[in-house]
Each structure stands twice: as structure tokens, then as C-alpha cells.
Structure 1
Amino acid sequence: MRIGRVTVGALVAALLAAFFTVAPAHAADGQISGLAGKCVDVAGANSASGTPVQLYDCNGTNAQRWSNPGDGTLRALGKCLDVVDRSTADGAAVQLWDCTGGPNQQWVVTGAHDIVNPAANKCLDVRDNNSANATRLQIWTCTGGGNQKWNAPAAGGGGGGNPSGFVVSEAQFNQMFPNRNGFYTYSGLVQALSSYPGFANTGSDTVKRQEAAAFLANVSHETGGLVYVVEQNTANYSHYCDWGQPYGCPAGQSAYYGRGPLQLSWNFNYKAAGDALGIDLLDNPWLVQNDAAVAWRTGLWFWNTSTGAGSMTSHDAMVNQAGFGQTIRTINGSLECDGRNPGQVQSRVDAYQRFTSILGVSAGGNLYC
């Protein structure tokens, strides 16, 4: 049950939000507006493949008229918004290119006003937070800064959909967790999604739903159906301080017990999660039990970044269709997999199959570890 027993490798700290935020202007006539009220623009209104995409004063021309046809692409002048050379690196420029259906042309417009390339798990970004005309656009690790906030045309073709943008609706969430603790709010989960915008947003619609079901199934197992916020066995609390770490346990010997949807524990995990999320959890671990969005973010941090006891992150296991069993191995494989505790494994699988049924998708293969 303790993901905290697994030592987490070094993580690159997430970038902090930009120094100022800008309320994007409302999109009109297919414009995508953002920093300083300026628009996403195809340089020189040139429809040739390879033309740079930049920030520019909104002018209502076809160079700024973008469509969101509902297939994951954003289109202008008959071509697609494209990440140069299929790069997933911070700073990779974007351009106009013939539509190919490739992952470097897939974009998710989130309810938080991010435009995310799921393959890179990065956001459309104005280079150097520079609002000058002709500033090149790029992809960058999502920070929540004003240079990554956009108002874009709504996707066409859909039939209503979920206003939150998450593949699990609030009604489905409530169906999954009928007895949940009021602390675990749906709004807290939706708010936390912006920290890892590739989560449940990568691959086909089936894969997105399978990943959401897999995450929530493991969460259900760890928390008794979202009933428990903190670890119930208080006798374990003093165990989770590793004084061998150079930063020690500034919140106290017994402060790093399991909390939240995946029961984050150990001082080194609080340190790593806090560094990645830009929150001081080492000095204030109680945030995980007092702030629903922070709690959900720690669960998503582990899911999306840690290989835990396995060989891949849980996110990669579902996106690459390695199977639900690999998520169990990552989270608690050293205690449950390979016949160590088949009852616990079965509990997770049962929850996953129940949740995929609620979401109307198959569970896929490789359910066990």
C-alpha cells in the first residue's frame, strides 16, 4: 500500500509560473488570443509548409483564423499547427505544415486555457514571455504563466461533451466513489490536471479513458474508495523519516505519513513532489491533507513521473498499452506482484474493470502483474 517505500529518482523541478499573468482576450472569428491580447499568427500569411507561427497584433486576417475541427489539430490557411522536427524538447518551435496526423500536430485545448501537445506533455508558449510582434511560438513545460494562456476556438463536431475537459464527468466520478470523503472533490481533481496536461489526454479516446480509469482504480484501492485522506495506522507515522537525506525532516520525525489519493509518504517523496510542483511540501506536508488540489497533484506527480518499483511510469504503461498490471507494479509491485499478494492485485483489477465499464471502454489486456 505504501508507494512511499519506493525511493524516487531525481526529478527535474517544474518551472515556476511567470511573474505576471494576463487575462487573455476573448477569441473571435477563430482567432487564438493570449499574451498582451495578441494573436497566434502565421508569418506573412504564407501557407507554405515551414512558415513560422508567431505572436502578432490581432488583425482579423486569414493568417490568424484558426479552426479546431475536433480531430486534435489546429488549422490555418489549410494546414496544421506543427512542432518542428517532431521534437518534444523545451524550446522546440512551432510552424505551419501539411496536415499529417502525426503526434506533433495534436493539441488539447484545456479548460484552464492551456494548449497542450500531449506527445511532449508541453504547452504552447510565447518565447521568453515577450509580447513584441513577431515573437516566435514554441512548446515548453507547462508553468501556468500568462505566456501559455490562450483563448481558442471550441472543437467542432462534438456533441456537448464534458465542460471540465476531463474524460471523466462529475456524474461518473460520483458513480465511481459513492461514499467518498468530501475532501476529495471533483473540482480539486480537475484543477490539478493542469500540472500534468498529458494525463488522460494522450492517444485515442479509448486510451485516454483507460488511463483515467487506471489512475482512479489505484486511487480507490489506496484510499478505500476515496474515504481516507491520511494513513490510518498512526503507529507507522514516525517510520517515514529518512534522516540520511541532507535536508532531514524539518516538519518533524512523524510528519511524513501517507496522505492523499496515492498516500504519499516519506520525507524524500515529499521533497521530490514539492520540488516538481513548486510547493514546499518538505516543510509543510500538511498541505496534502488540507488542500484537495494539492493532494490530487501529488497523486498525479507520482503517476506521471515515477517508475517506482517498476520499469516505467504508470502514465507510460497506459499510453503505450503495456497494461494495467504495469501500473500496479510501479505503485506497489515490490509488495504485491509476482504472487506476493494476489488479493491486493485483484482488488485493483476489480476497481479498474468497474471504472472502465462506467466509462464505456474495454479494460484491455495485461491486467495482472
Structure 2
Amino acid sequence: MEFKWSVPLIILVLVNCDLYSTIGGSTLKNCYLCNTYEPSEPESRSYSSESSELVGILVLKIVHLTLNPNQPSQATAAKIRSCCGGPVSDHFQSDQFEKMFSNRSSLEVEDHEIENKGFLDYQSFITASAFYQPYGFGTTYINQDFFGTKEVAAFLAHVATKISCGNKVVTREQLSRDLCYNKEMNSDLSYCDEHYKNTYPCAPGVAYYDRGALPIYWNYNYGEAGKDLKVDLLNHPEYIEQNATLAFQVAIWRWMTPIKEHQPSAHEVFIGTWTPTKSDNLAKRVSGFGATMNVLYGDLICGHGDNESMKNIISHYLYYLDLMGIDREEAGPHEVLSCAKQVAFNPSISSSP
């Protein structure tokens, strides 16, 4: 069955986006808008009930005006250190996405057992990113320096290396053979931590293995993500496997949300709004792409010199900068780009968060 979405109905959906203002508790803060992005007149479109484009293109056209209708005054804007621009689709187009992941649904991928190779697509990413636009994902200016394009490249570099087709990074062809998996393959573990049985009790017969574009696992992560996204992921983690937009939303949730209180998110360390403490300085933790690996993976990757896992992620990031027309020098020096000498934010963990 197909439904006709009229303009008033779409606006109602956008109002419901206010639910996302609680994502990450007090961690995420609304940005002021930096530009005067004017949406074109919305058109009525027909969508399948099974489509991941529930809010689709119209969300990208009017969401920022709905969530942030008022620009700051000129005097106020001059004092703002960080603010947000227009939607990610303004600076990241579908042809760039397809170049990054040109083989994601190709029969040339050797593993014939790979399912849903084309599951994660451009429109799903854009739709998911729209919900986080008011909080700066892919849209942040710092003192008029735009970080949005670099952040998209950084985020997708992590996504690609976490759910790749399993190739070692050697050539550009291999760098584009990614986005093959949307779940952990052949998992026999339920990943149920009984320590959280009161807050996030495991559902009977449910396994909380890796799922999503930037995979999460364990019941407490599904519980936290589901609470912030207003989706019952604790009882239905399989939703992430079935909806590409949700798979990207959960991934961006992980990127935007600190693992622990009083720690930064990957978003904050990347754009530089995080202020290192004396302990951070002693631990050689500095803002930049390297610190995103520290936040997301800790001592699984960081603090072990220039290991292959770290170089793999960096290679993807630099390659994506090339595709997006950004000079590699903007990635910063080696100590900013890598986490080879950084002490982990959460040392001695046995698995990624």
C-alpha cells in the first residue's frame, strides 16, 4: 500500500522531531544557525510504507527552520564560537557517497554469503543525519571554519572500517569495498549483561550482538540508544537490521554520545569543542581524528603505536577527504591524526563499547 504525504502531515512529523532534543541527555546542545538557508517550496510525494525515506527529502528542506526558527542577532552571532549550517546534503551529494562505496552492492565482492550488501544507502544516511543537524553533526562551524565536510568523512571512515567486506587496505579499489554487513555474522553470544537487569533487562531469546552502521552491542547499549531514539531496541534489536535509516541513526547516536559521564563524544573531540584537562594532556590526548578512535575503541587500537587497525581507519579517512576535495593537510599532523601514543579514555577494556 502507498500513502500520499501532504505538506501538513510532513510538518506534523517534523514537530515530532522535538523528541530528539533529549538525545544524550544534557550532552547535546542545540546550535545556532550560521546561514540563511532558504528551503524551496515542498512538494507532495508518494512513499511506500516500507520505504526508509519516511521523512525523506522534505525533512532536509525544512527541518532546520522547524527546529530553529530564529537566527541569533548579529551582535549575538559575533560572540558565538560554534554554530550550525544547512543540512548535510548541501555539501555531501549522492555521487560522492557512491564513489566512497562503489562496490558495496557489487557481485565482484567475493563473499557470496554477504547479505544486504546494498542495505546502507545515501538517502538513509541523509535522512538520519537530519535528526542530528540541530546538534552540529556534519553542520558545525567553529569561528567561521566549517567542519561539516571533514566530519562526514571521518564518521563514514569509521563506518566503513567497522562493517567492511574484510579486505586489507592496500589499494583504492579495496577502500571502496565497504558497507557489506549490517549485523555480526554467525554470533552465538547473546551479549546480555545481568548487571543491568533492573535498568535494561534482556528480553527472552534476544541476542544483542553487533548491529548497525557503527555497530553497537550489549543490552545496555541497546537500552541507551533505544531510550534516546524513542525506539524499543531492547525488545526489538532486529529493527536496526531492517531499517537503513535507523542503522545510521544508531551509528550517529554512538558518534554524538559520550560513553561515560564527564567524557567527550567522538563529535566533540573531532570538531574541537572538547577542552582537555591536565590529565588528558599527560595522557597525550588531543582533539582531532585520532581522538575519535580513542573515544570509540579505547586501548583496542590506541596507545600501541602505528598498528594496522589504526592505519586502516586513517587510510579510509584520508581517502574520503580526497574524494570530497579536501586537502589532506587539513587532517592535521600525525599526533592529531593518530592515537598511537594516546592513553585510552577507558583503559583495559576487553571489547569495544
TM range (shorter): 0.5 to 0.7
Counterparts in 2 of 1:340 and 1:233: CA distance versus 1, 3 Å? farther
Contact 1:251 1:284 in 2 (8 A): no
Identify the residue that residue 326 of structure 1 maps to in structure 2.
Answer: 291
Out of 145, 168, 193, which is 1:242 matched to? 193
Identify the residue that residue 218 of structure 1 maps to in structure 2.
Answer: 158
Counterparts in 2 of 1:308 and 1:168: CA distance versus 1, 3 Å? farther
User: What is the CA distance between 1:342 and its match in structure 2?
Assistant: 1.4
Q: Return 5+ residue gaps in structure 1 as ranges.
A: 1-20, 25-33, 36-87, 91-102, 117-121, 126-136, 140-154, 156-161
Superposed, 1:209-288 pairs within 5 Å as: 209-224=149-164, 225-235=178-188, 237-238=189-190, 240-245=191-196, 246=198, 247-252=200-205, 255-288=207-240
How many residues are matched? 237
CA separation in 2, counterparts of 1:207 and 1:283?
Answer: 37
Counterparts in 2 of 1:23 and 1:211: CA distance versus 1, 3 Å? closer
Identify the residue that residue 332 of structure 2 maps to in structure 1.
Answer: 364
SS at match of 2:60: coil
So what's the TM-score if we normalise by structure 2?
0.60
Out of 140, 143, 148, which is 1:202 matched to? 140
User: What is the CA distance between 1:244 and its match in structure 2?
Assistant: 1.8
Q: Return 5+ residue gaps in structure 2 as ranges.
A: 1-7, 16-27, 38-58, 73-84, 105-116, 165-177, 274-286, 340-353
| Structure richer in helix, relative to its length | 2
Superposed, 1:175-186 pairs within 5 Å as: 175-180=99-104, 181-186=117-122
CA separation in 1, counterparts of 2:317 and 2:207?
Answer: 31
CA separation in 2, counterparts of 1:201 and 1:303?
Answer: 14
Counterparts in 2 of 1:251 and 1:219: CA distance versus 1, 3 Å? farther
Counterparts in 2 of 1:310 and 1:172: CA distance versus 1, 3 Å? farther
The question of 1:191 aligning with 2:127 is answered: yes
Contact 1:309 1:331 in 2 (8 A): no
Out of 241, 245, 258, which is 1:289 matched to? 241
CA separation in 2, counterparts of 1:276 and 1:163?
Answer: 21
Aligned AA (1:364): G
CA separation in 1, counterparts of 2:242 and 2:296?
Answer: 23
Aligned AA (1:327): T
Aligned AA (2:160): S
Identify the residue that residue 40 of structure 2 maps to in structure 1.
Answer: none
Q: Could you report, residue by residue, the CA deviation over 1:31-76 in whole angstroms, capped at 9, with x for unpaired residues? A: xxx99xxxxxxxxxxxxxxxxxxxxxxxxxxxxxxxxxxxxxxxxx
Contact 1:308 1:331 in 2 (8 A): no
Contact 2:88 2:138 in 1 (8 A): no
SS at match of 1:115: helix
User: What is the CA distance between 1:307 and its match in structure 2?
Assistant: 3.9
| Structure richer in strand, relative to its length | 1
The question of 1:353 aligning with 2:353 is answered: no
Larger deviation, residues 316-325 vs 300-309: 300-309
Counterparts in 2 of 1:227 and 1:105: CA distance versus 1, 3 Å? closer
User: What is the CA distance between 1:310 and its match in structure 2?
Assistant: 10
Root-mean-square deviation (Å): 3.3
Q: Could you report, residue by residue, the CA deviation over 1:279-334 in whole angstroms, capped at 9, with x for unpaired residues? A: 11111000001100110000000101124699421111221181100110111022
User: Which of the pair has more CA radius of gyration?
Assistant: 1
Aligned AA (2:195): G
CA separation in 2, counterparts of 1:108 and 1:244?
Answer: 49
Q: Percent of aligned pairs with the same residue?
A: 30
